[in-house]
Chains A and B, each alone.
Chain A
Amino acid sequence: MEILILIGGFTVVCLLGMPVAYALGIASIAAALYTDIPLEAVMLKVAGGMSGFSLLAIPFFILAGAIMALGGMATRLVNLAKVFVGAIRGGLALVNIVASTMFGCLSGSSVADTAAVGSVMIPQMIKAGYPRLFAVNVTISGSLQPLLVPPSHNMVIYSIAAGGTVSIGAMFMAGIIPTLLLGASLVILVLYVAKRDNFPKGEAIPLRQAFKIAVDAIWGLTTVAIILGGITSGVFTPTESGAIACVWAFFVTMFVYKDITWAELPMLLGRVTRTVGMVMIMIGFSISFGYMMAILRIPAIATEFFVNISHNKYMFLLYINILLLALGTFMDLAPMLLICTPIFLPILPAFGIDPVHFGIIMILNLGIGLLTPPVGPTMVVGCAIGRVSMEAVAKSILIFYIPMIIVLMLVTYIPELSLWLPRTLMN
């Protein structure tokens, strides 16, 4: 009965349209009332859940991404991408994908990437003769990549949801090969479609100009070096790396690129606090929800259930993937990570699955959900920027799901794709 109140109550009020954060809150409160847990304990968890030091990385990563997006970092990276792949048939589409690979290392957010790269690339692609829908689809599909590389705050959220047992540094390392695979698979798809539909070719960029573009982009790329280098060398914690990256990015954008002004600073802070507010309140309530789940021993019950229905690792992973893909169409990435991680994590040892590997599977899988109706923020933003309807995108994006699902399966069934890099670099 208590479990029904908690899980069922949450599902019902959530579907009715209550914000996810408060739906988690009221379900926890109801379950606590029913089981005689003092409500102070629920409130304690809401605030206490936010107080881990590593959670501080979230505002910093979001702020760093926002500074990059507001300044001309995206344009500079698009230019750099043009140097590499601009001259091939379908070149601009490839530029779009490669720019997302690079910009991903700055924003860590699929929506920010769509907004930043899309607003530069979609108009350019349309002008060059690409179909509008294709331009939007390439943009939002490419925006899966930032979820898996630093400074993805979703990886921080996973690490938090895992009770701090998963190292953020290891997650960052683990995401790199899957991201490159994702980019490569999209490139193959685009090359195929470009040939089939005879898309335009771009121009080659002269070497001298290419050099200048590369130098111009290097300042931004140093931010990534700070984050990755700081964490892997142990000089900074992920949180400190995030904060220093913010200060550095601000310095570069303000004094080197001169892209933002002091007057824009309050607006920038306002934006970031709103995002942080949305994410953190959800984290807070999901921690209290997770607390009630722990009290009611739901993870233990779920473990028993999954161990009973799936007799091996491969079937278990398949079930989980299908379940997450289905849930991901309705729910966003962050709340799903927060709700599902504490349930699945205790099951992993029984099947011999590494939590870092599992985190990559979850984030990739749920990331695909960001590109599906009815609830898909990346898709919504892509549609808004490309000025197309969600229905049209939903129909035409189907072919783009193929490479994503293939990569998801590869990542699911070849753990080394995720684990080789962290093992090699961190041991």
Chain B
Amino acid sequence: QKTVLKAADVHPLGYPTVEAVVQMGKKLEQATNGRLSIQMYPSMQLGGEKEMIEQAQVGALQFARVSVGPVGAVVDNLNVFNLPFVFRNTAHMRAVIDGPIGDRLLKEITDNPKSGLIGLAWMDSGARSFYNKTRDIKSVEDLKGLKFRMMGNPIFVDTANALGANGVAMGMDQVMNALQTGVVDGAENNPPSYDSFGHVPVAKHYSLTEHLIIPEILVFSRKSFDAMSKEDQALIMKFGKETQLEQRKLWDERTKMAMDKIKAAGVNVITIADKKPFQDAVKPVWDKYGAKYADLVKQIQETK
């Protein structure tokens, strides 16, 4: 009896998160002599993240690679990652998700009866930084008065505002047009997305503020999981955990490639030596959204 497990992602084939799950499928196939395999449906073929989660909940699909946002609606602690500058840098974020805090949060997804999901692994989606078409951002003052497209969650818009800029929430599909018509002066994203959305020629000032470092999650359908044998369950959990480090390698390669391309396109990439003024500026956002995660934040900050 052969079982084909379905996996979905909003990104296209070849994207690090997609590639990692495809490779995991090959390992699974090898380990079970072809009894278990993964069919990947990339590029939103089965719908957006919200629908992917619901399909996993009803058991129509098994693996879903999703952002913190839609799962955070059920498991609130995940939202701690949405706080600006919650991690010192990418290495800090990796230490946290590889350690007990990462495991605990995945377990919270698994144990929450409302989620209908099993938390398998964390996936890297880099650090988001500001880019704009007007000027180099070297200090907080440089952000003043610029309009930036932010993701829909109010916390992100507030972050931009706290930094002295104006945050404008809009869908990703509208950003290009908004940049061209001047509805926004810039946006923020990780290097691969900045490059692949074609914003590089329009907005040529990129400053590595790394204000948001939000890892993504690979989840598995609880309904499908419960229907599997103990051995298969263990296999899924094991390979799931392994994919966390494998995806990271793919992500680093991708980021390096994008960064080379961005620099070749004549973008002045600015490294921020001292992020302290930025971190201080977002204090109001922490006061407003961070209080209930105080314990968790303390543990994160103590992680070396």
Contacts and interface: CB of A to CB of B under 8 A. Distances in A.
Direct chain A–B contact by Cβ atoms under 8 Å: yes
B46 A291 contact: yes
Contacts of A48: 47, 50-51, 54
Interface string A9-51: 0000000000000000000000000000110110011001000
A234 interface: yes
A40 B61 CA distance: 12
Interface in B39-78: 41, 44-47, 50-51, 54-55, 58-61
Contact of A426 (B46, B177, B183, B223): B177
B46 A295 contact: yes
Chain A interface residue number, banded: 20 to 34
B180 A38 contact: no
B242 to A, nearest CB: 27
A41 B173 contact: no
B106 to A, nearest CB: 25
Given A44-B58, A295-B6, A233 B47 contact: no
Given A234-B174, A234-B177, A427-B180, A294 B60 contact: no
B178 interface: yes
A291 B51 CA distance: 11
A233 to B, nearest CB: 6
A169 interface: yes
Q: Which of A234, A291, A295, A426 has the most CB of B within 10 A?
A: A234
A48 B50 CA distance: 10
B181 interface: yes
Contacts of A169: 177
Nearest to B202: A427
A12 B183 CA distance: 50
Interface string B247-286: 0000000000000000000000000000000000000000
Contacts of B173: 164, 167
B178 A234 contact: yes
A167 B180 CA distance: 15
Contacts of B61: 41
Contact of A37 (B47, B60, B174): B60
A222 interface: no
Contacts of B59: 38
Contacts of B55: 41, 44
A37 B39 CA distance: 14
18 contacts: A37-B60, A38-B223, A40-B60, A41-B61, A44-B54, A44-B55, A48-B51, A53-B171, A164-B173, A167-B173, A233-B181, A234-B177, A234-B180, A235-B183, A237-B174, A294-B45, A294-B46, A295-B41
Interface of A: 37-38, 40-41, 44-45, 48, 53, 163-164, 167, 169, 233-235, 237, 291, 294-295, 426-427
